[in-house]
Chains A and B, each alone.
Chain A
Amino acid sequence: EAQVTQNPRYLITVTGKKLTVTCSQNMNHEYMSWYRQDPGLGLRQIYYSMNVEVTDKGDVPEGYKVSRKEKRNFPLILESPSPNQTSLYFCASRHLLAGGPSYEQYFGPGTRLTVT
């Protein structure tokens, strides 16, 4: 089954304790992205990656890190989480085709993070 998986789905942590949210896709997609979603603010992009070893900042990258060492995985790292990073996080992926239209973007199930 084609899917994007995220782990953990729910996480409660304390300020300053490093954490990693994993994201994996089994569709051989080139593009992967992380979003956070907060009430009234919609989906905001944190980081994205066009391919292995290629990552770039989105709209709200402060306080986050990512890596893309393998095509299927795109972990999100919070080195020192703070309460303002409490949010619902989504990983997404899709194919890229130069010169053509954008393909469907698939989303993971989401990770609800609470930082106290």
Chain B
Amino acid sequence: QKEVEQNSGPLSVPEGAIASLNCTYSDRGSQSFFWYRQYSGKSPELIMFIYSNGDKEDGRFTAQLNKASQYVSLLIRDSQPSDSATYLCAVNDPNYGGSQGNLIFGKGTKLSVKP
């Protein structure tokens, strides 16, 4: 059973702080890694994707990937109350569903940014 594990939280950080969200995955063959943000009752929206080891930055967001440790993280700098949401980590499963595989989603980490 392929698994993507996330701490369910809630993770509470003060406004302006760095929020660090973590995710581990079980299949070493996974190549594609995504972070989605989901507000309560809304659909997930993609905020970051990363394919290679190392860091990838986009505005206040940085995704970090370590394939050797099977670990991917999301850093949110200068956190704002509007960042309060559930963050879903998703990883492709190359062994199920064709060459690209389905995406396996973690259950999400709930982030709360306090003003």
Size range of the interface on B?
Answer: 20 to 34
Assuming the A-B contacts A104-B46, A107-B45, A110-B43, are A42 and B107 also in contact, with contact meaning beta carbons closer than 8 angstroms in the complex?
yes
In the complex, chain A residues whose CB is within 8 Å of the CB of B49:
104
Indicate the member of B31, B45, B105 with the most A CB atoms within 10 Å.
Answer: B105
How many pairs, one residue from A and one from B, have CB atoms within 8 Å of each other in the complex? 59
In the complex, chain B residues whose CB is within 8 Å of the CB of A107:
43-45
In the complex, chain B residues whose CB is within 8 Å of the CB of A31:
100
In the complex, chain A residues whose CB is within 8 Å of the CB of B46:
104-106
Subset of 25 A-B contacts with CB under 8 Å: A42-B88, A42-B105, A42-B106, A42-B107, A43-B88, A45-B102, A48-B102, A90-B43, A90-B44, A96-B100, A97-B100, A99-B99, A100-B100, A101-B32, A101-B92, A102-B32, A102-B92, A102-B103, A104-B34, A104-B46, A104-B49, A105-B103, A106-B46, A109-B43, A112-B41
